[in-house]
Amino acid sequence: MAKTTKKPGSNSGSISAAPDPSGIWGGRFDVGPADIMQEINASIDFDRRLFAQDIAGSKAHAAMLTKTGIISEDDGDAIAKGLDSILGEIEGGQFEFKKALEDIHMNVESRLTELIGDAAGRLHTARSRNDQVATDLRLWVRDALDRLDGDLETLQAALIGRAEEHAATMMPGFTHLQSAQPVTLGHHLLAYVEMLGRDRGRAADCRKRLNESPLGAAALAGTSFPIDRHMTADALGFDQPMANSLDAVSDRDFVLEYLSVASILGVHLSRFAEEIVLWCSVQFAYAHMPDAYSTGSSIMPQKRNPDAAELIRAKAGSLIGALNTLLVVMKGLPLAYGKDMQEDKVPVFAAADTLSLCLAAMTGMVEGMTFDTERMRADAGAGHATATDLADWLVKELNMPFRDAHHVTGTLVKMADAASMGLHQLSLDAMQSVAPGITEAVYDVLKVEDALNSRNSFGGTSPEKVRDAVAEAKKRFLTG
């Protein structure tokens, strides 16, 4: 009996003398895999999530085999009915997944054999697990993209609703996390609506590119059977079959693109989460998180921690890690299929779960947050936030070159700092000592409200433009 040498303390198992328990390999092997080989080779613990897509692909393939006369109508009907029964068993929690059968494909096929007998063996005619798994995964990612689009629209709707509510709520706008110019809270929230809109666009582009069918490419070279790949593509909602059989079974760029979409979206969510963490701090005190999305401290009874936001901020790392994982898996693989590609599913499933969780939590936070509008209004003018408005006024009213106006304004800012006052508190005499042409009219542009209302350029932060942007965002992004 063949066996491996096992050192003391080793975890390697002996080679089984029994025939291949799965029956996958036919007569090529005399014995089954070593225990450790079976453990590393099996994927059923994670690829069972492909069950609905696997059964849909098998039904389409069986219908095509029947239509083309490759298998009989009786066998085709039996296969279809058996697959429907298996789908019901899995959905009902009555199906026994077996690790010895390696993956979802062989688990389904084995059960189909138990249900309908020899006819089940005809299902795998003119296909391989290579094109089967590529088809299943494309279908799964396509479904994931559709769910993602719905979740993103829900978050956008929440943001747009809050932006409309706070179209005129003043707050400081920041660069370098330093007070820069006054904006409105509505304008700030709409920035994330736009980011999420581009995320949805990337997801739609990914869906369009992946929507070609690998089914019928077989192992790598196509098949000699007279199959109809356009029929199976149509049945599964694909736009067309993939044009090259090698490419069909071997590339996972559609998964990489999905994970790229997920990573960029994760960065957007993380940036917003960071702002929520800041806004909820005592130092900012702009926002209050509802109890449902906050936690306390085991030792400090006064604490309210915005943990949901902090976790979203952190989970961007796992999304980026998922992309990096698959990039490294794929980077050196020769055509066509390599077992390495079995590792494509773990990161994509994990990323989809993470996105679903993060988007639901972010939507809840956006809907439940309350804002201290007085605190935000008080900070909107801090740090000489209307200095740029003063420089613009000097250009428009005194015909001063902007670089000169910038210098004059900087001098006045320094003067106000030395006197521990705001620009609007400087006397006219003090201003005229720097620029004699300045008149009383300058004080109108130094008011935060006036500065805000003046930002009437397209995409600007004036309440009027924010309300216009809200109306347009509803048209562009919301289907309801």
Strand partners, 175: 178
Element (H, E) at 241: strand 240-241
Q: Are 182 and 424 in contact (CB under 8 A)?
A: no
Catalytic (active site) residue 176: yes
Which residue's structure tokens are 């869906």? 207
Q: Are 413 and 423 in contact (CB under 8 A)?
A: yes
DSSP letter (8 states) at residue 28: S
Q: Which two tokens stand for residue 37?
A: 């080989």
Q: Which two tokens stand for residue 82?
A: 């058996």
What's the gap between Cα 314 and its chain centre? Answer: 14
Q: Which two tokens stand for residue 411?
A: 């001098």
336: cis peptide before it, omega within 30°?
Answer: yes
Report d(CA 216, CA 222) in Å as an integer: 6
The size of the chain, in residues, is: 480
Q: Taking the CB of residue 39, how many other CB atoms lie within 10 A of it?
A: 12
**Catalytic one among 10, 12, 281, 297?**
297
Strand partners, 182: 172
Distances (CA, A) of 315 to 3, 310, 318: 45, 9, 5
**Catalytic one among 176, 224, 420, 457?**
176
DSSP letter (8 states) at residue 287: E
Catalytic (active site) residue 297: yes
DSSP letter (8 states) at residue 182: E
Give 101's Cβ-side CA count (13 Å radius).
Answer: 15
The answer for 328, left when phi > 0, alpha when psi is -120 to 50, beta otherwise, is: alpha
Q: Which two tokens stand for residue 434?
A: 């720097």
Q: Which residues are catalytic?
A: 176, 297
